[in-house]
Structure 1
Amino acid sequence: MVPFPQELFDAIIDEIHDKETLKACALVGSSFLPPSQRKLFRKVRLPGGLGRRSRDTSAALAESPHLVSYVRDLTILMASTVPNSVAMAGMLRLAQNIESLVVFGRAVNWNHLKHEACSALIDCLSRPSLRLLYLSSMQGVSAALISAATAIPVVSFVHIRMDVREEISEQLHASAPAPRLRHLILGDSGPAVRLICDFLLHPRNPAYTQQIEHLEIHIDQCNASYVERIMAACAATLKYLAVYATDLIQLPLLPFVLEVEIKVFVGDNRRLPAFFSHNFSQIASSLPLAETITLVVFVDPLRPGPEIEWPDEGPLPIFGPSFMDRTQLLHLRQVHCILRRQSTFGDISTVFDRFVPAMESTMPGLRGTGILRCTLDNPQQLH
């Protein structure tokens, strides 16, 4: 019998997405074992908890260290306990081919972690294969970690607080890795964002922000001036901007942005915030090459009572009846209005029927142009 080529077995396994089936395939024979293991351990979640599935994954990796070489997407739920820190350090040291790293700190203080865990995490960020880093809910984070993160193309900081007691040396900025940062997400507000912005805008190393093409930011009254400086620092390269603002903002001139996304929450009365018109109208003067504008409107589906009408707040200045006689936004091809749930549970399907005419009333100059599109983003309720 002519043996089947290994590539055929690999192709078969690659089409399997159920973990139990992959486990069964791994027991079939030597030709099925490596591709099954590669698929099973491509995505690994290292827990801080003690669930059975978590224990099984940790045990398998401990008994067969070669499996760590298959890990491409790693999620770590951190805890400050010694066993968890040791396990995290060991995993990070072995995962040499990692492409995506997600770390949920659970409000863990960086200074309370074992030194080997901190060192392993910083070292991991220098891997050439690493393309995405998502850090969430960590306190007392060292400047060395933020500096190392700039060597990764896609970085997200959510509820990350730098160590305010740390003296950041000039040497740290001077010896920072060559920045590869292209996509930056600052998913927080207040002092946490100010500290990160201050670090990234340090005059000793302006290269931190000079290659960013995609920026997602949360702006409030407390951090507005800092975030505006970040936007200005990215102006020469920025092509995509996503803004969630809770107050008046001032957009700098961003001459090369092609796509902008504005996120806003409407309250129980379905009224857009008072500052919305001012913020939205700046797009025409600040983003002259904008081709796509996306407006994401969040609503709370758990609000009691019958559905109510959206108030008629009049047209936005840039999309009034005379829009087609425009001298601005000459490249605009689409305005996409998305209705999205604020919370995990609930249904907003009934809200959408009134959302569409409300958006058309707000942007009367887009009627009949094919530019305006409204969609509902209401994923099936999770159980």
Structure 2
Amino acid sequence: MARLPQELIDTVVMEVKGKPDLQACSLAAWKFVPASQSSLFRRMYLEWDSSSRTAPAFERTRLFFQDHPHLTLYVRDLTLDIPKSHQDQAILEIVLRMLRNLERLAINGHAQNWDDLLTDLTYTISCTISLPSLQRLHLLRILRLPASVVLHAASCVRVLSLDRITPQSLRDIPAHIPPNTQLENLILPWCLATNALIRACDFLLTPQNLRRLSVEVRDTGYYRPPIVASAAHLRHLQLECGISSIPFDLPLLPNLRSMVLVLPRLVGTEGLWTLPENLSSTIVTLPAVSPRLEALHITIRISTFQTAPTWQDHIPFPLFAARSYRDQLPALRDIQCCFGYFDTFMPCSGIWFELALQSFIELMESQMPAPFHDGILTVGRASHRSRVNYLDHLP
């Protein structure tokens, strides 16, 4: 063992995934310790029970890192809740200052106002966002977040998601802002506060170097400006539609490689289920809009139901009716169609869902006969998410 290079030992230990196995490795030999500890402490959670007035885990973490400061160097991925008491916020601020190598930070504000948080904590959060190592930032449920904080985040990290974020009523940045050159992946889920956020943080609509964009399509049409601004560079686009079936108005996306469409099923004549019209109209434009497309993922969502569904559509999409689609989309190698609920936290199972899924499989295979026969079409159920670990589903 002593003759093996440390690099080889580290490589072997880094392949161990389970926490009990890593703990056993750290106790097996002193040469196993660095790599074991690096894996054990790479991802950390600081969770706070909103039903409790205190967050004892925060104090235990502070004491632990004060006794073992070298372990703070291993923490790369931190997911945290902001507690409500200023005492616990002060402890969290101390812990954050210890972590200087973070690459991913996810913060759940639990619907607290930014101005009500401890001043030292908000300052430390801003300093953490400025860390050269930080690449991914996810902000969830923070009220009255200053536009300057959003601008700072968009200028520092490469991946940014803003979910249920409301801005301050008074914009605290000048009207003319230099273009952002850092952000590559922007995720803007729709909620009641999104329109206000976009008005206060309009610089999010004019990114120059986005490679990946995920937005929800609503009547306000705020989704289109960032697509247009980043059209030359965009490689991945995800569009989600609510209950309505709003037509997509997409510009030319010459470098787009992957497109994800999340759409509602509609109800046609005589109560028959039908695919949304904007799906058909988008597929028609794919060769002109995204000629280098490699992957197309479609998810159709439904509400709960208790009767066997019957689909109205059985006419193939013209683009995919014959193998000539290969001439129009020569790079296309993967089409995935998924079927699930609007509530992504609801398991896609049960007798009625299985019936609906089987009829959906038959429908999509008939809608895209050429890709089906070419073996590039797969149809199945949508993935199930966990409410508890929502932030884990983000990049």
| TM-score in terms of structure 2 length | 0.80
1:40 Cα shift?
Answer: 2.2
Question: Which residue number corresponds to residue 393 of structure 2?
Answer: none
Question: Which residue number corresponds to residue 338 of structure 2?
Answer: 338
Which piece of structure 1 moves more, 80-89 or 103-112? 80-89
1:46 aligned onto 2:54: no
1:272 Cα shift?
Answer: 2.6
- The 5 A counterparts of 1:1-383 are 6-7=6-7, 10-11=10-11, 13-23=13-23, 26=26, 30-49=30-49, 56-150=60-154, 151-170=156-175, 173-174=177-178, 179-193=181-195, 195-196=197-198, 199-201=201-203, 209-222=207-220, 224=221, 226-246=222-242, 247-266=246-265, 270-300=273-303, 303-312=304-313, 314-319=315-320, 321=321, 324=324, 328-341=328-341, 342-347=344-349, 348-364=353-369, 366-378=371-383
1:19 Cα shift?
Answer: 3.1
Which piece of structure 1 moves more, 210-219 or 161-170? 161-170
Mapped contact 2:262–2:299 kept (Cα < 8 A):
yes
1:77 Cα shift?
Answer: 1.0
For structure 1, list consecutive stretches of 5 or more residues without a partner in the other structure.
Answer: none
1:100 Cα shift?
Answer: 0.9
C-alpha distance in 2, partners of 1:370/1:82? 58
Paired amino acid for 1:141: L
C-alpha distance in 1, partners of 2:366/2:25? 57
1:170 Cα shift?
Answer: 4.9
C-alpha distance in 2, partners of 1:325/1:34? 53
1:55 Cα shift?
Answer: 6.3
Mapped contact 1:141–1:163 kept (Cα < 8 A):
yes
Paired amino acid for 2:373: G
Mapped contact 2:148–2:172 kept (Cα < 8 A):
no
Residues 167-193 of structure 1, C-alpha deviations (whole Å, 9 max, x = no match): 32258x35x8x6321111112245525
Indicate how the Cα distance of structure 1 residues 182 and 335 shifts in structure 2: closer, same or farther if over 3 A, else same: same
1:25 Cα shift?
Answer: 5.1
Mapped contact 2:89–2:121 kept (Cα < 8 A):
yes
Mapped contact 2:143–2:167 kept (Cα < 8 A):
yes
1:35 Cα shift?
Answer: 3.8
Which piece of structure 1 moves more, 110-119 or 248-257? 248-257
Secondary structure class of the residue paired with 1:67: helix
Mapped contact 1:98–1:129 kept (Cα < 8 A):
yes
C-alpha distance in 2, partners of 1:380/1:189? 19
Paired amino acid for 1:289: R
Indicate how the Cα distance of structure 1 residues 88 and 375 shifts in structure 2: closer, same or farther if over 3 A, else same: same
Which piece of structure 1 moves more, 279-288 or 242-251? 279-288
Residues 130-189 of structure 1, C-alpha deviations (whole Å, 9 max, x = no match): 121111111111122211222211111112222132332258x35x8x632111111224
1:346 Cα shift?
Answer: 4.5
Secondary structure class of the residue paired with 1:368: helix
C-alpha distance in 1, partners of 2:229/2:100? 33
Percent identity between matched residues is 26
C-alpha distance in 1, partners of 2:151/2:259? 27
C-alpha distance in 2, partners of 1:220/1:381? 25
Runs of 4 or more consecutive aligned structure 1 residues displaced over 6 Å after TM superposition: 51-55, 380-383
Indicate how the Cα distance of structure 1 residues 262 and 22 shifts in structure 2: closer, same or farther if over 3 A, else same: same
1:279 Cα shift?
Answer: 4.2
C-alpha distance in 2, partners of 1:143/1:312? 46
Paired amino acid for 2:90: V
Secondary structure class of the residue paired with 1:87: helix
Indicate how the Cα distance of structure 1 residues 325 and 256 shifts in structure 2: closer, same or farther if over 3 A, else same: closer
1:82 Cα shift?
Answer: 0.6
1:213 Cα shift?
Answer: 0.9
1:71 Cα shift?
Answer: 0.6
For structure 2, list consecutive stretches of 5 or more residues without a partner in the other structure.
Answer: 389-395
Mapped contact 1:48–1:84 kept (Cα < 8 A):
no
